[in-house]
Structure 1
């Protein structure tokens, strides 16, 4: 189960890091990725990043550097670039080539520990790959993980039996897998209402 928060009823302690995962131009490529869900995800991610910056809370931006030269996320491709709305001052930028943000450079877990941060909020792309994997690993490492489901999106995917699961079905499976085991699934609205206000 997920660790308890620092204070009863406190969803977002002041030292909560927003982890913004793989919000990169390459995910615009519908021909490569297929049909997606949640057209509001970008707006929700932007609302969270703006709120974190306004509250002067720590934000980590994670960028995927694919090792496949044909991927839109390969460093040689324009798609490797971050979307403009997540660019700017951040506490840390992590570069990874696998699904987990905890397996990139610099070491995210070591940085969180050094900063005394025990609660993280996960948002970004894609729901059932890098976001879910980061939440799972973060929970296993002992962090309290809040998963902002409506600030993520994903794409339809074909299973080993040839059946296509829609992006919405995959997002529901992620929420079901994570909630109460690796993370607490929350909404952007939940987070914005709970974020500490500057005096």
Structure 2
């Protein structure tokens, strides 16, 4: 029975449709996720895929728009569940906890989009539920974040030019500081994948 799981969160086409995708912190998110997935499969760990949907909104996360699907290059294999969530974390609006419990899993690694939003929130909730969480930062994506007082209709150019905008590097550092030693162990893709013997 599996003892560990990899949860891939929101690596979906919805985000690639946004202009700010050009400023993603990890342009090779598909490659990084696939490295983690390959390692998890070699270990015999459970891989769970999670998508975010906002039905009826007409936005990029509305399934009717056709973007609520994994980015090309990512694909589950038989036995790997795909869950659709409507909350920031992957637990509250899915049966993720039930799946993990039935599989006897206590260790959960997370990756995906966005670093400080759905991936971090899933990490915090997972920790509170008693899982040993691993946050694989360089297999997450974030974007420059505008100040709370910036108008909702501000252009991407205005956001990027605003000195109050948090850079990708600043957001990643803040997320790691907040999670490390409290909610999760921070690891890199290399650290996770190098722990798996090549022949396994």
Give TM-score, length-normalised by structure 2.
Answer: 0.84
Verify: 1:100 aligned to 2:101, yes or no.
no
- Root mean square deviation of aligned Cα: 2.0
Deviation at 1:169, TM superposition (A): 1.2
Q: What is the distance in 2 between the residues matched to 1:20 and 1:99?
A: 13
Per-residue CA distance 1:7-64 (angstroms, 9 max, x = gap): xxxxxxx621000001111111232667321223321111111222233321000010
The aligned counterpart of 1:165 is 166
**Unpaired segments of 5 or more residues in structure 2?**
151-163
Write out aligned runs for 1:39-118 (5 A): 39-67=27-55, 69-89=57-77, 90-105=79-94, 107-118=95-106
Structure 1 stretch displaced more, 43-52 or 121-130: 43-52
Classify the secondary structure of the residue corresponding to 1:185.
strand
Q: Which of 130, 133, 137 is residue 142 of structure 1 equivalent to?
A: 130
**Unpaired segments of 5 or more residues in structure 1?**
1-13
Structure 1 stretch displaced more, 52-61 or 182-191: 52-61
Q: Which of 139, 147, 155 is residue 151 of structure 1 equivalent to?
A: 139
Q: Which of 1, 10, 18 is residue 30 of structure 1 equivalent to?
A: 18
Report 1 or 2 for greater relative contact order, CA contacts < 8 Å, sequence distance ≥ 6: 1
Q: What is the distance in 2 between the residues matched to 1:126 and 1:84?
A: 18
Length, aligned pairs only = 185
Q: What is the distance in 1 between the residues matched to 2:23 and 2:193?
A: 29
Q: What is the distance in 1 between the residues matched to 2:23 and 2:58?
A: 19
Q: Which of 119, 126, 144 is residue 114 of structure 2 equivalent to?
A: 126
Q: What is the distance in 2 between the residues matched to 1:15 and 1:84?
A: 29
Q: What is the distance in 1 between the residues matched to 2:84 and 2:198?
A: 30
Give TM-score, length-normalised by structure 1.
Answer: 0.84
